[in-house]
């Protein structure tokens, strides 16, 4: 049977982790017809997140956790995905801002439809988003810049809702240089340029007012990353 690891990267998320894991566990138990596991990837939390994750791994048979001493969403995904033995590895943000009802479609695209990578899109036809005008504008402008500079076809680079096949992950993830928020964009660009099949999955997404994303810093990081990809040969 196809195996799936759903990774939740966390940094100081003690206040929401238990509820999110319980919600996801209940949903996957009922709706995902594969052999799945939830993997909490704690990257250098300074609160009680790690202890809570370890407790959840004891409470639920299908929950595990891994710890990193350094921060960075990309760094957490790199470790969790490359150390995983699952046929399909995925991730979602701990706040579950992307409606998890779309997760089976994400996995199905790879397990049954022959795609190498599936990504949630807040900009594809059929998606529904609830977020501030500022974040909506920044997202649309950023994705337009990507298309203009890199000539890509995927519609939403930074949605925290992705799945990738084991074969593609083993090749692509080691090539990604960024260990922070730009990890997602770089992964998608590399995948498309190397001919891997990518499927956009329209999603329902609601902005979390307690988000850890610092927009200005993230935009700067993304633009630097795009310039690097544009001016250096794709490996």
Q: Where are the domains of the chain?
A: 3-231
CATH dotted code for 3-231:
3.90.550.10
Residue 213: its pLDDT value, please? 57
Average pLDDT score, the chain: 92
Task: Report residue 133's pLDDT band, with 50, 70 and 90 as the boundaries.
Answer: low
Pairing of strands 88-92, 3-10: parallel
Instruction: Give the separation between CA 56 and CA 18, rounded to whole angstroms.
Output: 7
Element (H, E) at 18: helix 17-31
| pLDDT band per the 50, 70, 90 thresholds, residue 198 | very high
Q: Name the active-site residue from 42, 93, 95, 184.
A: 184
Signed CA dihedral, 57, 17, 157, 234: sign only: negative
Instruction: Please return the burial class of 108, using the count of CB atoms within 10 Å of its CB with bins 0-12, 13-18 and 19+.
Output: buried
- Which strand (E) or helix (H) includes residue 90? strand 88-92
In tens, the pLDDT along 25-63 reads 999 999 999 999 999 999 999 999 999 999 999 999 999
Active site residue 200: no
The pLDDT of residue 147: 87
Q: Residues 179, 75: contact at Cβ < 8 Å?
A: yes
Residue with the larger pLDDT of the pair 155 and 5: 5
- pTM for the complete prediction? 0.92
pLDDT of residue 80: 98
Whether residue 136 is predicted with pLDDT greater than 90 in this model: the reply is no
């Amino acid at each position: 049977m196809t195996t799936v690891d759903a990774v939740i990267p966390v940094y100081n998320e003690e206040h929401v982790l238990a509820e999110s894991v319980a919600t996801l566990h209940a949903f996957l138990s009922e709706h995902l017809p594969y052999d799945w596991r939830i993997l909490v990837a704690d990257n250098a939390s300074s609160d009680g997140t790690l202890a809570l994750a370890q407790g959840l791994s004891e409470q639920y048979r299908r929950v595990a956790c891994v710890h990193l001493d350094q921060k960075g969403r990309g760094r957490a995904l790199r470790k969790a995905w490359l150390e995983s033995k699952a046929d399909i590895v995925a991730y979602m943000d701990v706040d579950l801002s992307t409606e998890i009802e779309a997760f089976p479609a994400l996995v199905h695209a790879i397990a049954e439809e022959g795609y190498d990578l599936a990504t949630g899109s807040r900009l594809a036809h059929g998606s529904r988003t609830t977020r501030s005008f500022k974040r909506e504008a920044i997202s649309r402008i950023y994705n337009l810049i990507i298309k203009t500079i890199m000539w890509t076809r995927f519609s939403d680079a930074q949605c925290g809702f992705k799945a990738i096949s084991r074969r593609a992950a083993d090749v692509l993830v080691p090539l990604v240089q960024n260990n922070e928020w730009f990890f997602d964009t770089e992964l998608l660009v590399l995948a498309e340029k190397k001919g891997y099949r990518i499927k956009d999955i329209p999603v329902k997404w609601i902005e979390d007012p307690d988000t850890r994303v610092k927009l200005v810093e993230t935009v700067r990081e993304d633009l630097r990353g795009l310039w690097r990809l544009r001016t250096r040969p794709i490996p």
